[in-house]
Amino acid sequence: MTLPLPGPAPGLLRALPQYGALAAVLLANWLLFPDFFSIRLQDGRLFGSLIDVLNRGAPVALLAIGMTMVIATRGIDLSVGAVMAIAGAVAATMTQAGWGLPAVLAASLGAGLLCGLWNGLLVALLRIQPIIATLILMVAGRGVAQLITEGQIVTFVSPGLAAIGSGSFLTVPMPVVITAALLAVTALLVRATALGLMIEAVGVNRLSSAGAGVNTPVVLVAVYVWCGLCAAVAGLIVTADIRGADVNNAGLWLELDAILAVVIGGTSLLGGRFGLLLSVVGAAIIQAMNTGILLSGFKPEFNLIVKAAVLLAVLLLQSPALTLLLPRPKGARPPLGPPLGPPLGPAKRESGSVKP
Amino acid sequence: MSRNWLTSAATAAATAMAALLIGLGSVQAADGKLVVGFSQIGSESGWRAAETKTAKAEAQKRGIDLKISDAQQKQENQIKAVRSFVAQGVDAIFIAPVVATGWDAVLKEAKEAKIPVVLLDRQIDTKDQSLYMTAVTSDTVHEGRVAGEWLAKQTGGTCAVVELQGTVGSSPAINRKKGFDEVVAKTPGMKIIRTQSGDFTRAKGKEVMESFIKAEDGGKRICAVYAHNDDMAVGAIQAIREAGLKPGKDILVVSIDGVPDIFKAMAEGEANATVELTPNMAGPAYDVLVAFKKDGKAPPKWIKTESALFTPDTAKAEYERRKDAY
Amino acid sequence: MTPYSPQPSAPLLAIRGLSKAFLGVQALDGVDFTLRHGEIHALLGENGAGKSTLIKTLTGVYRRDAGTVALEGREIAPRGVEEAQRLHIGTVYQEVNLLPNLSVAENLFLGRQPMRFGFVDRGAMRRRARAVLSGFGLSVDVTAPLGRFSVATQQIVAIARAVDMSAKALILDEPTASLDAQEVAVLFGVLRALKGRGIGIVFVTHFLDQVYAVCDRITVLRNGRLVGERRTEDLPRLDLVAMMLGRELEAAAHRIAADPAADTQAGTDARPPLVRFRGFGKARSVEPFDLDIRPGEVVGLAGLLGSGRTETVRLVFGMDRADRGEAAVDGRTLRLRGPREAIRLGFGFCPEDRKKEGIVGELSVRENIVLALQARQGWLRPIPRRRQEEIADRFIRLLDIRTPDAERPIQLLSGGNQQKALLARWLATEPRLLILDEPTRGIDVGAHAEIIRLIERLCADGMALLVVSSELEEIVAYSRRVVVLRDRRHVAELRGGEVTVDRIVSAIASEPVPAGPEGAPA
Ligand SMILES: Nc1ncnc2c1ncn2[C@@H]1O[C@H](COP(=O)(O)OP(=O)(O)OP(=O)(O)O)[C@@H](O)[C@H]1O
Ligand SMILES: [Mg+2]
């Protein structure tokens, strides 16, 4: 048996629960619906259930990208759903008022940045606890969006804006392309610079990091601003997709899905180490599940229960306490007799170092 | 639920101030005009805004003095508004209740002041039916029935339907399904092949319809989609179009509510029918009120509004007529 | 004193063949340990020898891989602090694990609050808390949150809690690391009393004087193995150090005994100071003080706990903002707005509370070492991974940090090795002024000597050092000047030949020197 090495475990091995869960959910979908993996071209655009998973999962994946970094700093951003609504409202209202696409995009993303800045300042400078600081915008943000649209669904006609939601690039749906691009940019931003290290350091121990010279307020503001931007992009996609800003429903409760995606992806709510790609995988797991439920033909009354059960299974797979239920290493408790069986799957054993 | 915290804070202050101003002046119009206080839920949807607008227009038509108080989705604001109407001594109080329970106390106050109360658009739960004069609401079961009957007639009674339900457990979703199911039950060739919740929203309507199309052989096995509201239908139309099918032709679209956007879709040939949930709830209420004031004739406890069906031939005109009301 | 003598057939605690491995580290390897009734038993060894692990495995915080533990002949397998407590074994871990947001009294009685009519009897709890603490010579507001108090006070509260609850055995892991001489004397008084009642005490420390002051017996561990058990009177100090280090200690002993006089020649005073403070201070923290530090100079800060030593260095580093006076670096007056500013000026600072303010626990040793350097370069100029590894490896070797590799999370290192890694963090930035608050706390004899030697070498290279330490001999050994503090005020500055333990002590105490040993190594 190969022993997990100390230090950073090989990426794939550490991510086994996530990829395993994704594979399992996809497999279950395939069993429920044999055409699940079939893909064809439709009007120059990939078309199939698997594509739906990626396409519909894009907003939560985008939120999860921003949320991952916020959570890595030991924060949380409850306002992302409301920020989506604001960004969508800005885009739809301005388009309806006749503004051009560049101005609309700039204003909408700008609104997201501004929201992020607000959150970041509350957390970093006023030192309000993140859950409370962002709760303010979560509650007020939707009101702001309602003020912008005057409480109505603002629809628009703009092929350019609509393309962001339902267009395609080289046959791949635009939301998927945008998400991939933002993931790449974000990964580059944090991993090709020292930002990632600083985010993790701040999340693990803000005092120590500040003492070592890390500019903690700037790091904190930066992650909330980026999170706001990601939320604005998600809001644009949702709005562009239905060609209208539905502020009462756009992004409603999606902050919870985003947090869930991050947690499924293995980033701890206590901050520290984070994995962007795995959060996106987490979002994909959630959406694969949603799409699976829709395809399955279950009664809608079961949706939430099925979802909860699957999530519980995924999270249990990652639970550190689960390793306690596994057979103990040999010799731990002599009276217990021999171990009950080989340890399951990737669960790490505490002992097993090879003596020199 | 407190969705819009900031706005509610602002308008709560504003309503309080308005109530104060109204309270100062004597309300009983000197010229014998009827004075009606209307506690509206808020303006969370286009339909709600239209209801308010129509209430004003219908009041003007009849020479009634209408005072509207916006509750910002909060029952406590509604209760405050009713109390202030009682204090002002209005001739009648209209309430569009945000929730079904918790009204007994304040309605008793109105009853003691001998002010008749009319519920608009939604019912309440109470043991004491005498607390209100009447309720003007649509018959949501009937709406589902009308949609189903139209579809049965249109398809000659043979149709594989997919259904987009409203929010699971909400009463319009339950009732609109019930009415439609009644028609399905008595039409042998009609069948609901898939049903899922689209949460009354465009985005979910689109997502669910996408999966229905995939699940039913690229949509080939679907004859029609029945959506519990127009918003989901609008989302479904987009999904049908993006799957390379023609909404309104390859797949028929029938829904309920009658919001402007569905008339637009019908005018463009992408939707086939909608059952109107009329925003004119106040009109019938004024009529029974006037009658009651004149000869004390008590109206029935439930006044059902008409559930009119609209089809593409009148869509353009209907759209023009409505687009400003919403 | 008359020893307690119930003559039980079995020893109080008998540990046999205890083993515990972590990934890549055999922290304990078949260790035997015996604690008898009515004895104080020192558990000694270098940093990383396995002392803390032995304690945590014994009380069930870690699951043991092999071995048995018997309490008065009966085998036990507690699964954590609470269960151990129910068996009347009280423990104070090296990292105090109390709840900073709760009051002192609540921390003392958590889980066993005095009850009345089904409610916590707060009055009784407060009274008993005051009584218990006064036994330790501590009179504080027991209703104030514990986090407000110094590490030392927190340590005493933790000890008091454990003492109050342990009817049979008391285990203390480096309890004296942050206590001053008087507090240590009080603690020893308590320990002797407990011993008289037949309680067995395990005492982990790196202060050899304390071992010889109170312990009856000594067990030494090295690299997770038992080296031996001796009666204290049979084990001369030099032999003890040899047992711990596993080598002849001439070199180490020589270093410890470095001649203080050699280092105290004046003559560099003519050089312009690197930093210069005038009337620098902060209300309710430290009275305004003047201080110059020249390149290549070690300035020691001495004084009792709470005398303003830590507050002084925190002001100098900008961790706390001074509200009066002025600071100048290289002759240029400036405002110290925070650690980032200080680091830009070439300052470095190892704080006293390394767990809370020093290490970034989950991150690797490598990341912890490069953190300050990286922060100074800014996030846009990342240090390449290869370079980071070079830096980390260099300091791991230089400071002899005991870790299987640089990628291990720093929180898994033993306390002393964490301290060395923090030192490495600052050395990597090549600071001009390095501020060390209790740098040798929790560090074993060997490493202790190494750190002192390192300090000397650094200042020979032109680095200025400002060092806070409770160990006066240590301060005397390397300081060119010593600033003495009392009651948040700089009361004396000793230089050259004046730098002696006696002079420091008499400056600390306006009245005659307090009785009791000052913890001087031989
Ligand atoms: N939780 C853990 N996981 C992995 N390794 C650990 C853990 N705790 C301790 N170790 C390792 O076990 C060894 C023994 O550590 P331990 O803390 O027992 O030393 P110690 O004797 O108490 O040292 P010190 O005097 O520095 O406190 C060290 O190499 C340490 O890195
Ligand atoms: Mg230790």
Shortest alpha-carbon distance between residue A18 and chain C (Å) = 21
Is residue B98 situated within a structural domain?
yes
Phi-psi group of B151: left, alpha or beta (phi > 0 → left; psi -120 to 50 → alpha; rest → beta): alpha
Please say whether the dihedral angle defined by the alpha carbons of residues B44, A260, A234 and B228, taken in this order, is positive or negative.
Answer: negative
- Which residues 284-303 of chain A have a CB within 8 Å of chain B? 290-291, 294-295, 297, 299-301, 303
In this structure, the answer to whether residues B120 and B157 fall within a common structural domain is no
In this structure, the answer to whether residues C306 and C187 fall within a common structural domain is no
Residue A2 pLDDT > 80 = no
* H helix and E strand count, chain B: 11, 12
At B77-111, the pLDDT tens digits run 999 999 999 999 999 999 999 888 899 999 999 99
Q: Which of B206, B211, B243 is the closest to A291 by Cβ?
A: B211
Q: What is the pLDDT of residue B16?
A: 47
Cβ-based interface (< 8 Å): residues of B facing A: 2-8, 42-46, 48-49, 165, 168, 194-197, 199-204, 206-208, 210-212, 214-215, 231, 234-235, 238, 242-244, 261, 326
Beta bridge partners of B304: B137
Is residue C139 situated within a structural domain?
no
In this structure, the answer to whether residues B268 and B172 fall within a common structural domain is yes
Residue A356 pLDDT > 60 = no
Q: Are B140 and B175 in contact (CB under 8 A)?
A: yes
Q: Are A50 and A58 in contact (CB under 8 A)?
A: no
Chains near C (3 or more Cβ pairs under 8 Å): A
Distance CA A8, CA A23 (A): 24
Beta bridge partners of C214: none
Is residue C449 situated within a structural domain?
yes
Cβ-based interface (< 8 Å): residues of A facing C: 3-8, 192-195, 197-198, 200-201, 204-205, 207-215, 272-273, 328-329, 331-334, 348, 350-353, 355
Locate the ligand 1 atom nearest the alpha carbon of residue C46 and give its number.
25
Is residue C247 situated within a structural domain?
no
Percent over 70 (pLDDT), chain B: 90
Is residue C250 situated within a structural domain?
no
In this structure, the answer to whether residues C231 and C288 fall within a common structural domain is no
Chain A hits for B232, Cβ within 8 Å: none
In sequence order, what E strands does C54-144 have?
A: 66-71, 74-75, 89-92, 115-116, 119-120
Residue C310 pLDDT > 70 = yes
C367 touches chain A (CB under 8 A): yes
C467's tokens: 């060092």
Angle A49-72/A80-96 helices, nearest 10 degrees? 120
By residue range, what is the domain housing residue B113?
2-137+279-295
pLDDT confidence tier of residue B54, bands split at 50, 70 and 90: very high
Distance CA C158, CA C164 (A): 10
Q: What is the mean pLDDT of residues B283-311?
A: 92
In this structure, the answer to whether residues B83 and B128 fall within a common structural domain is yes
Q: Averaging pLDDT over each range in A177-181, A265-269, C325-329, which range is the top one? A: A177-181
Higher pLDDT, C24 or B62: B62
Q: What angle do CA C283, C284, C287 make, to 5 degrees?
A: 65
Is residue B301 situated within a structural domain?
no
Please say whether the dihedral angle defined by the alpha carbons of residues C387, C388, C390 and C394, taken in this order, is positive or negative.
Answer: positive
For ligand 1, the distance from its centroid to the CA atom of residue C52, given in whole angstroms, is: 6
For ligand 1, the distance from its centroid to the CA atom of residue C49, given in whole angstroms, is: 7
Q: Are B54 and B61 in contact (CB under 8 A)?
A: no
Distance CA C481, CA C478 (A): 9
Residue C306 pLDDT > 80 = no
Tell me phi and psi for residue C178, to 5 degrees.
-115, 20
Among protein residues, the one whose CA lies closest to atom 31 of ligand 1: C413
Q: What is the mean pLDDT of residues A225-235?
A: 98
In this structure, the answer to whether residues C264 and C220 fall within a common structural domain is no
Distance CA C31, CA C227 (A): 9
DSSP assignment of C229-269 equals EEEGGGS-HHHHHHHHHTS--HHHHHHHT--GGGG----GG
Q: What is the mean pLDDT of residues C89-109?
A: 85
Q: What is the pLDDT of residue C211?
A: 92
In this structure, the answer to whether residues B14 and B131 fall within a common structural domain is yes
In this structure, the answer to whether residues C346 and C221 fall within a common structural domain is no
Please say whether the dihedral angle defined by the alpha carbons of residues A218, A221, A224 and A225, taken in this order, is positive or negative.
Answer: negative
Nearest chain C residue to A6, by CA: C23
The number of domains in chain B is 2
Percent over 90 (pLDDT), chain B: 77
pLDDT confidence tier of residue C263, bands split at 50, 70 and 90: very low
By residue range, what is the domain housing residue C186?
13-101+145-235
In this structure, the answer to whether residues C171 and C281 fall within a common structural domain is no
Q: What is the pLDDT of residue C439?
A: 87
Cβ of C440 less than 6 Å from ligand 1: no
Q: What is the pLDDT of residue B118?
A: 96
Is residue B19 situated within a structural domain?
yes
Residue B153 pLDDT > 70 = yes
**Hey, are the CB atoms on A242 and B238 less than 8 Å from each other?**
yes
Q: What is the pLDDT of residue C247?
A: 62
Q: Are B59 and B89 in contact (CB under 8 A)?
A: no
In this structure, the answer to whether residues C389 and C306 fall within a common structural domain is yes
Mean pLDDT over the full length of chain A: 86
End residue of a domain, out of C235, C270, C299? C235
Q: Is C394 exposed, middle or buried (0-12, 13-18, 19+ CB in 10 A)?
A: middle
Q: What is the pLDDT of residue C474?
A: 84
Is residue C3 situated within a structural domain?
no
In this structure, the answer to whether residues B43 and B118 fall within a common structural domain is yes
Residue A7 pLDDT > 50 = no
Q: Is A253 exposed, middle or buried (0-12, 13-18, 19+ CB in 10 A)?
A: exposed
Identify the CATH number of the domain in which residue C188 sits. Answer: 3.40.50.300
**Hey, are the CB atoms on A249 and B199 less than 8 Å from each other?**
yes
Cβ of C47 less than 6 Å from ligand 1: yes
Mean pLDDT over the full length of chain B: 89
Interface test with chain B among A132, A152, A236, A237, by most B beta carbons within 10 Å: A152
In this structure, the answer to whether residues B270 and B144 fall within a common structural domain is yes
A135's tokens: 């709760």
Distance CA C413, CA C442 (A): 13
Question: Could you count the other beta carbons within 10 Å of the beta carbon of residue A50?
Answer: 19
Q: What is the pLDDT of residue C274?
A: 92
Tell me phi and psi for residue B83, to 5 degrees.
-60, -45
A49 touches chain B (CB under 8 A): yes
Nearest chain C residue to A212, by CA: C372
Distance CA C442, CA C177 (A): 6
Lowest mean pLDDT among A317-326, C128-137, C258-267, C288-297: C258-267
Identify the CATH number of the domain in which residue B150 sits. Answer: 3.40.50.2300
Largest CA distance in chain A: 79
Distance CA B15, CA C455 (A): 72
The number of domains in chain C is 2
Name the nearest CA neighbour of C71 among C30, C63, C53, C60: C60
Q: Are C155 and C438 in contact (CB under 8 A)?
A: no
Q: Which one-letter amino acid corresponds to residue A191?
A: R
**Hey, are the CB atoms on B242 and A155 less than 8 Å from each other?**
no
Residue B142 pLDDT > 60 = yes
Q: What is the pLDDT of residue C507?
A: 84
pLDDT confidence tier of residue A1, bands split at 50, 70 and 90: very low
Beta bridge partners of C163: none
At C243-252, the pLDDT tens digits run 887 765 444 3
Is residue C126 situated within a structural domain?
no
pLDDT confidence tier of residue A300, bands split at 50, 70 and 90: confident
Q: What is the pLDDT of residue C186?
A: 83
Secondary structure, 3-state, C15-65 = EEEEEEEECCEEEEEEEEEEECCCCEEEEECCCCCCHHHHHHHHCCCCCCC
Residue at token pair 């990341």: C367
Mean pLDDT over the full length of chain C: 85
A211 touches chain B (CB under 8 A): no
In this structure, the answer to whether residues B112 and B225 fall within a common structural domain is no
Q: Which of B7, B8, B235 is the closest to A242 by Cβ?
A: B235
Q: Are B179 and B141 in contact (CB under 8 A)?
A: yes
Q: What is the pLDDT of residue C140?
A: 85
- Which of the 8 DSSP states describes residue B187? -
Q: First and final CA of chain C: distance in angstroms?
A: 27
DSSP assignment of A220-242 equals HHHHHHHHHHHHHHHHHHHHHHH
Distances (CA, A) of C235 to C229, C232, C256, C373, C461: 10, 5, 19, 45, 39
Is residue B10 situated within a structural domain?
yes
At A65-78, the pLDDT tens digits run 999 999 999 999 99
pLDDT confidence tier of residue C506, bands split at 50, 70 and 90: confident
Tell me phi and psi for residue A4, to 5 degrees.
-60, 135
Tell me phi and psi for residue B280, to 5 degrees.
-85, 75
At C118-142, the pLDDT tens digits run 777 888 888 989 988 888 877 888 8
Percent over 90 (pLDDT), chain A: 74
Q: What is the pLDDT of residue A224?
A: 98
Is residue B123 situated within a structural domain?
yes
Q: Are C479 and C299 in contact (CB under 8 A)?
A: yes
In this structure, the answer to whether residues C231 and C309 fall within a common structural domain is no
Residue B26 pLDDT > 50 = no
Distance CA A230, CA A65 (A): 7
In this structure, the answer to whether residues C267 and C231 fall within a common structural domain is no
Q: What is the value of ipTM here, to two decimals? A: 0.84
Three-state SS for C300? strand
Is residue C437 situated within a structural domain?
yes
Distances (CA, A) of B170 to B161, B165, B176, B199: 21, 10, 10, 10
Residue C11 pLDDT > 50 = yes
Q: First and final CA of chain B: distance in angstroms?
A: 24
Q: Which one-letter amino acid corresponds to residue A215?
A: N
Please say whether the dihedral angle defined by the alpha carbons of residues B169, B172, B176 and B182, taken in this order, is positive or negative.
Answer: positive
**Hey, are the CB atoms on B168 and A303 less than 8 Å from each other?**
yes
Which residue ranges form the domains of chain A, and what is each CATH number?
57-319 (1.10.3470)
Is residue B267 situated within a structural domain?
yes
Q: What is the pLDDT of residue C51?
A: 93
Nearest chain A residue to B212, by CA: A295
Residue C466 pLDDT > 70 = yes
Q: Are B288 and B134 in contact (CB under 8 A)?
A: yes
pLDDT confidence tier of residue C3, bands split at 50, 70 and 90: very low
Chain A hits for C372, Cβ within 8 Å: 212-213
Lowest mean pLDDT among A208-217, B33-42, C504-513: C504-513
Distance CA A36, CA A30 (A): 5
- Which of the 8 DSSP states describes residue C496? G
**Hey, are the CB atoms on A146 and B7 less than 8 Å from each other?**
yes
In this structure, the answer to whether residues B73 and B62 fall within a common structural domain is yes
At A244-262, the pLDDT tens digits run 999 989 999 999 999 999 9
Q: What is the mean pLDDT of residues C70-78?
A: 93
Whether chain B lies against chain C with 3 or more Cβ pairs closer than 8 A is no
Higher pLDDT, C522 or C64: C64
Q: What is the mean pLDDT of residues C9-18?
A: 91
In this structure, the answer to whether residues B169 and B318 fall within a common structural domain is yes
At A125-174, the pLDDT tens digits run 999 999 999 999 999 999 999 899 887 889 999 999 999 999 999 999 99
- Which of the 8 DSSP states describes residue C357? I
Percent over 70 (pLDDT), chain C: 91
In this structure, the answer to whether residues B59 and B203 fall within a common structural domain is no
Residue B139 pLDDT > 90 = yes
Helix (H) or strand (E) holding C393: helix C385-398
pLDDT confidence tier of residue C267, bands split at 50, 70 and 90: very low
Is residue C520 situated within a structural domain?
no
Cβ of C416 less than 6 Å from ligand 1: yes
Name the nearest CA neighbour of C71 among C8, C30, C10: C10
Question: Each residue of C232-264: b (16+ CB within 10 Å) or e?
Answer: beebeeeebbbbbbeeebeebbebbeeebeebb
- Which of the 8 DSSP states describes residue C364? B
Q: What is the mean pLDDT of residues C379-388?
A: 95
In this structure, the answer to whether residues C502 and C408 fall within a common structural domain is yes
Q: Which of B6, B49, B202 is the closest to A151 by Cβ?
A: B49
Q: What is the pLDDT of residue C269?
A: 56
Q: What is the pLDDT of residue A322?
A: 61
Residue C311 pLDDT > 50 = yes
Higher pLDDT, B184 or A296: B184
Q: Averaging pLDDT over each range in A81-85, B118-122, C149-153, which range is the top one? A: A81-85
Name the nearest CA neighbour of C163 among C197, C140, C115: C197
Q: What is the pLDDT of residue B23?
A: 41
Cβ of C219 less than 6 Å from ligand 1: no
Helix (H) or strand (E) holding A244: strand A244-245
Residue B159 pLDDT > 60 = yes
